């Protein structure tokens, strides 16, 4: 009698195992994550937290400059768009905005920033409307100029082999005055390495 029960039991287990293979698709989901934390889909390229950390370091360093710290009136700085010369495509507009945001946060009232990208066209158009009498006259427009330009350049060295890849980035900040004198330069280094799962190699 025992012999008869073996085979059906094995068969039942085997059938269950076979059917279990018919997996269903995972359910979609969303979760909040810290924007300063490394992304869950990390690669070896430059990421938002990298530029944030670099900008933070630059902000602290700029504010300690005698030309800034000891200025009677807060100097005005124009931040130029981040230049990318690395092998990692980045959203340069986003990084420029982030850089300005962090500098604003750290600099309080010690420096001022020009935001021509945000207001130049709108203000000029409004001034035109005022002149034409289409809108109220308002105060005369007297667009500000800057004392310094802050530039940020991303450079990199990328190495790869069939075993993985390694990327070195240098974020170089420069503060230059109207006479092209380099007042300050600081650099921030990032190095990342990793490899794909062997199933992708």
Partner 1 sequence: MIGFRGTALALAAALTVFLTGCATEGPLSASGRPISKATLDAAHQRVEQENIPPNLQPFYFSIYSEGRENQCLYEMRGGLEALRSGELDRAEQLLQRACEDVDSLMAGAEEARRAQGKFTKEQEKWFKGENYERSALFMYRGLIYLIRHDFGNAAACFKRAQLYDITGDDEPGFAGDWYSAEWALALASLKQGFTTDADAALKRAATFGSRQGDVPPPGADCNLLVVVEAGEGPIKYRVGKYGERMRYREVPCPITRVEILQNNQTLDASAAAESLWFQAITRGKRVVDSILNGKAEFKEGTGIAAMGLGAGALIAAQHNNGIAAGVLGGLAIISAGLSAATTPQADIRTWNNLPHSLFFLCLSLPPGESSLSVMGQNAYGSVIRVQELKPVIQKNDPLQVVFVRF
Query: Roughly what angle, to the nearest 10 degrees, separates helices 92-107 and 48-63?
Result: 40
Q: What is the DSSP letter of 92?
A: H
Q: How far is the CB of 97 from partner 1 (least distance, A)?
A: 15
Q: How far is the CB of 180 from partner 1 (least distance, A)?
A: 17
The token pair that represents 182 in the structure block: 């380099």
17 or 134: CB nearest partner 1: 17
Q: How far is the CB of 176 from partner 1 (least distance, A)?
A: 18
89 or 137: CB nearest partner 1: 89
Residues that bind partner 1 (CB under 8 A): 2-11, 14-15, 17-19, 21-22, 25-26, 39-45, 83-90, 92, 158, 160-162, 164-165, 194-201
Q: How far is the CB of 8 from partner 1 (least distance, A)?
A: 5
36 or 39: CB nearest partner 1: 39
Q: How far is the CB of 99 from partner 1 (least distance, A)?
A: 15
Q: What is the dihedral of CA 68, 70, 76, 79, to 10 degrees?
A: 0
- The Cα 113–Cα 116 span in angstroms is 9
1 or 134: CB nearest partner 1: 1
- The Cα 196–Cα 199 span in angstroms is 8
Q: What is the DSSP letter of 88?
A: S
63 or 176: CB nearest partner 1: 176
Whether the CB-CB separation of 193 and 166 falls below 8 Å is answered with yes
The token pair that represents 104 in the structure block: 């604003």
- The Cα 163–Cα 165 span in angstroms is 7
């Amino acid at each position: 009698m025992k012999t008869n029960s073996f085979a059906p039991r094995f068969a039942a287990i085997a059938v269950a195992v076979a059917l279990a293979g018919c997996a269903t698709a995972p359910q979609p989901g969303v979760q909040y994550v810290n924007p300063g934390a490394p992304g869950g889909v990390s690669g070896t390229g430059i990421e938002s937290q990298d530029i944030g950390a670099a900008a933070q370091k630059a902000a602290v360093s700029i504010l300690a400059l005698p030309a800034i710290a000891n200025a009677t009136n807060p100097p005005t700085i124009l931040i130029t768009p981040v230049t990318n010369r690395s092998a990692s495509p980045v959203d340069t507009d986003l990084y420029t905005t982030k850089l300005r945001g962090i500098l604003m946060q750290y600099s309080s009232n010690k420096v001022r920033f020009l935001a021509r990208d945000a207001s130049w066209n709108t203000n000029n158009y409004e001034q035109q409307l005022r002149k034409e009498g289409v809108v109220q006259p308002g105060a005369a427009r007297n667009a500000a100029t800057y004392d310094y330009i802050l530039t940020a350049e991303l450079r990199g060295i990328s190495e790869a082999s069939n075993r993985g890849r390694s990327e070195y980035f240098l974020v170089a900040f420069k503060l230059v005055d109207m006479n092209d004198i380099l007042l300050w330069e600081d650099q921030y280094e990032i190095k990342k390495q990793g490899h794909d799962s062997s199933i992708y190699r």
